[in-house]
Structure 1
Amino acid sequence: MTLTQELMQKIGTAVELGQNGERQAAREQLEVLWRDAGENAFARCTVAHYLADVQETTENELEWDLRALQAADELTDDQVDGLKVEALSPSLHLNLADDYRRLSRAAEAQQHLDLARGRLGVLADDAYGDLIRGAVDRVEVALEAGSVEPLPTNPSSRG
């Protein structure tokens, strides 16, 4: 099963709400989409990934990022609309590294940062790849500095 155009539009609408500061409305819409995703692991992964960004606490963000990774672990390449499953991994592990860093769980943050960095080679040399590579570097610098503050580039700190 792949994500339908309609589902992607609904996710996009909810994400836009969150980016415009309407985090509660975004969260409510994404929670409905989470329930509707059923057994579709790609839908669950995508919705959980964006749901993490509109949580009020880092603990809740971590919970949704873990759900996104768990759903990604169930995926095969034929389920992700022409993408390679492995291309999801750097971003998912990066999010977990940043969550753990902000929760002062440095060892777990480092573990996921290492996993993210080790998988950067699967990303294309494009704007998305550059975005993820840059974010890995920023999280690494923050972790090394012992910072637990949200980074201004983190989607969950906007809005």
Structure 2
Amino acid sequence: MTTEDKTMKRIEEAMELQRTGDTDGARERFGEIWAEIAPDGDPFHRCVLAHYMADLQPDPRDELAWDLRALDAAASVTDDRARQHDASLAIRGFYPSLHLNLAADFHRLEDTAQARTHLARAQEHLDALGDDDYGHGIRSAIQRLADRLAEEAPRHR
């Protein structure tokens, strides 16, 4: 018998606030949960929360910090742990989106070299994406960023 994951339920409630446009409420809720689970909490919880918290940051440097937290936590998540949440999940499938977000962060911060590095890492994991709307959306976003980066000369910060 599977026990209810109360922390994940709270994270999903914050994600719903975000989806419905209550960014302040979502940011506050994510912050409360983060204070309870970081730095030693369940890496799956930390990965998911940080991934969504990043999108709520008005400052691109703060967004980068949260995206780095998500990537760091993902390194400790096993497929078994991901499947406890959803039987179809494999942690490798998280990496295209995690690296895409980092590539976009670095691009906004005008660090084209780091943006290219993370874009390449996102592309290395494309085979982990399904042939579904999510997979198509991530592939499309990766291609759009690749096209933008192809037009720019490398810049370092």
TM-score scaled by length of structure 2: 0.84
Larger Rg: 2
Partner deviation per Cα, 1:72-120 (whole Å, 9 max, x = no partner): 0111111112321111111100000000001000000000000001110
CA distance in structure 2 between the aligned counterparts of 1:3 and 1:102, rounded to whole angstroms? 41
Runs of 4+ aligned residues of structure 1 deviating over 6 Å after TM superposition are none
CA distance in structure 1 between the aligned counterparts of 2:48 and 2:102, rounded to whole angstroms? 15
CA distance in structure 2 between the aligned counterparts of 1:3 and 1:132, rounded to whole angstroms? 32
Match runs of 1:7-156 below 5 Å:
7-37=7-37, 38-81=40-83, 82=87, 83-146=89-152
CA distance in structure 1 between the aligned counterparts of 2:16 and 2:148, rounded to whole angstroms? 27
Asked if 2 retains the 8 angstrom alpha-carbon contact of 1:3 and 1:80, the reply is no
TM superposition shift of 1:4:
4.6
What percent identity do the matched residue pairs reach? 42
SS state at 1:80 partner: helix
Q: CA RMSD in A?
A: 1.9
CA distance in structure 1 between the aligned counterparts of 2:19 and 2:135, rounded to whole angstroms? 21
Structure 1 gaps, min length 5: 147-159
CA distance in structure 1 between the aligned counterparts of 2:105 and 2:48, rounded to whole angstroms? 17
**Alignment length, in residue pairs?**
145
Asked if 2 retains the 8 angstrom alpha-carbon contact of 1:120 and 1:133, the reply is yes
Q: Relative contact order, CA 8 A, sep 6+: which one is greater?
A: 1
CA 1:3–1:63 in structure 2 vs 1: closer, same or farther (change >3 Å)? farther
TM superposition shift of 1:3:
9.7
Structure 2 gaps, min length 5: 153-157
